[in-house]
Structure 1
Amino acid sequence: MTAQRVCIIWNPSKTTRRDLESGLDQATSAAGSDFEAIWFETSEDDAGQGVTAQALAAGADLLVVAGGDGTVRAVAERLAEADTGTELAIVPLGTGNLLARNLGVPLNDIPGALNRALGGEARAIDVGWLEIDLAGGPERHAFAVMAGFGLDAHMITETDDDLKDKVGWLAYVESMGRALAASDPSRSGSPRTDRRTTGTACTRCWSATAACSRAASTCCPTPTPPTVSSTCSS
């Protein structure tokens, strides 16, 4: 990768800029890269789409997204919408990191992931799109590998973030139990609709579960053309 301007989008709930800068220094020394780095931080109000638009406006040659699956999905969504040759790289820092796993990106290794981002060859991947009807109007969202809804989305909504930070993916086992209990009609004698599986909660689930399987083509009868480049594969 010969990027001149690298924009790093990072989730502050997953890491610190200091750790990323340290890893970037190590990766730069290993790859012998020369570039300008610009930093963008996500927030509760902006999971990644907004800062991605800012990074593209700043002329990014390469977007490096450091965070979990939700952050990666949000950045990939905005990038896929843009008519640009900007490439995408991942520093996986979440619980599942499933897109990164499928692409062979080093896990729990910030310098290693950044070294791949700066020195790897770009690889095109498919992105799927889904339109959903919400109380506030229809929304269109991208997914990098798999889309989940119903019980799957309810499980993600139920997941305790503090518990996930402590025990990792095992937190999903605990939340699945509560999601199953909430959807079991035998407990109330009639089918049950839970408020957490409808409306804005579905949007929240998208932010958490976007990249979850092997290929977007397994979820879409007609895969979209390759629209996102990734420097995360060897």
Structure 2
Amino acid sequence: MEIQSFTISNELLNEIHHQAAQVVDQLYDSVKIEQMSQVICKFYQKLNENLTVNSFSNLTDNVVNQLIRYIETRLLGPMYNSIHDQIVNENEQQDLSLETHISSLNRIKLIDLQLKVDLDNPEIGDLLEKSISHLIEMGSKKSPLQKLDSIVNCSKTIIRMLQIDSTNHISADELLPALIYVIIKANPATIKSDIKFIEQFSYSNHLMSGESGYYFTNLCCALIFIENLDGQSLNLPGKKFLPNN
């Protein structure tokens, strides 16, 4: 298997294919999402052991990420619809409740979130729309890494947007309110389900470190804030906060 300039040895590739075949059989035998998640997690643990063996320890993080992307596509691609449908069914009420709640927040402005951004600037407006599109596209992606890519792309686009009116490094204190605003404007229909899919079927290193872990954590924090968001938390009078007033 050729990944950039590094060739994964036949020994490792054959072992991965052998383990993957066993995992696919176990996935088809599993009924519940929790069982499928456990099967995938055990596979990743064994894969991680392989990757830390001396003969494979010189793989760069970029090569490992490409390898995981390949594996995710092989393992989860054929079963994505059934896995995701089950997650969506289990979280349908949460997704609907959050979607309704976010709809009620639609009139919130960036200034309400203590962030000054000139949305009349065409370049800023374009980047805002792109960040919203990236987040909405997450729902159509069919592997954990692809969904994380959408979150990373969304966040990086937001940072580019914020950087237009700033000469300073964009901190989490600025990214978070902007991300909250983008989530409200995007209002992805199955965002709770997508987060659960990522949490249960991702290679754990991607959620605990690196930019994907950082931006995913920010997204989860933004959602928690939104779920608890009301006029009082923004220091807004009730009538101003309600969308129909």
TM-score range, shorter chain: under 0.3
Give the TM-score taking structure 1 as reference length: 0.26
The TM-score with structure 2 as length reference comes to 0.25
Structure with the higher helix share, 1 or 2: 2
